[in-house]
Amino acid sequence: MERLYECIQPFGIDQWGACRFSELPPLLDVRSKAWIPPNAKSVLLFLFGYYTEAFPNRNISRYAVPDDYHSILRPLLAEIAASCARRFPEEGFLPFIDSSPIDEVAAAAHAGLGEVGMNGLLLNPVYGSYCFIGEIVTTLPLEIPPPEPLYLCTRCGACRAACPTGALAQDRFVRERCRSEITQKKGGLTLWEQEQIRKGGFVWGCDRCTEACPVNRNAAKSRVAGFYRNPIPVVDAQNVASLCKTKAYGWRGKNILLRNLHILSGETEDVV
């Protein structure tokens, strides 16, 4: 681990850890498992705090205010993987950011980077849940000591109480009731779903459970310089097309956001 630390330390990442690939939960079916090498031995997990300034008039989730985190973090993880590969030329190092079939929250918790909160998000002692998780899957076997348990979630229920739709129910995430999921949903929306967008006031996402979490009150500011460039907290009909080229919500396409803008304006017909 010491030689690995020497590869990673120059990049200024303060929150990272490792776990054995064999000890992770089953891979997710929603993403291709072919990308994972059959001889994977370890996973390196990295946390990147994101831009958390609370613009009073924003109509999108905090994480989506800066430019697309994929475009910011993917090159950084690729550099880290290349640094590790130079030190361990016989081994493979594959970087991922929101694209691998690994359950990233479970893996990060297993690597000692935090605890899974009642809302299903990773709680980290430095960034709370205001962080992105990246990983590097490697064929390098590592001697990894068991992580120290982190007791960050007090089970206070603030996140559950703050959820306006009951999506956080009995420690189970009901995806179809989540306002964030509804803003991203393709196709026509039910009248109830349209009403949730209107009540939420967001064209993309929902931050109710994260803002209610007491662990997030003292979350540290991001150390990623790219997250401080070009923050745009408000999406409207005039800027949505250009923003979709550089922001995290662009993958869904501008028509979904235009539909949500129409709903927020009091219209009910779908624009898809």
- Please list the active-site residues: 98
Instruction: Give the distance, in angstroms, between the CA of residue 93 and the centroid of all CA atoms in the same chain.
Output: 21
Instruction: Give the distance, in angstroms, between the CA of residue 215 and the centroid of all CA atoms in the same chain.
Output: 17
Residue 108's nearest CA partner among 133, 140, 128 is 133
How many angstroms separate the CA atoms of 159 and 217, rounded? Answer: 13
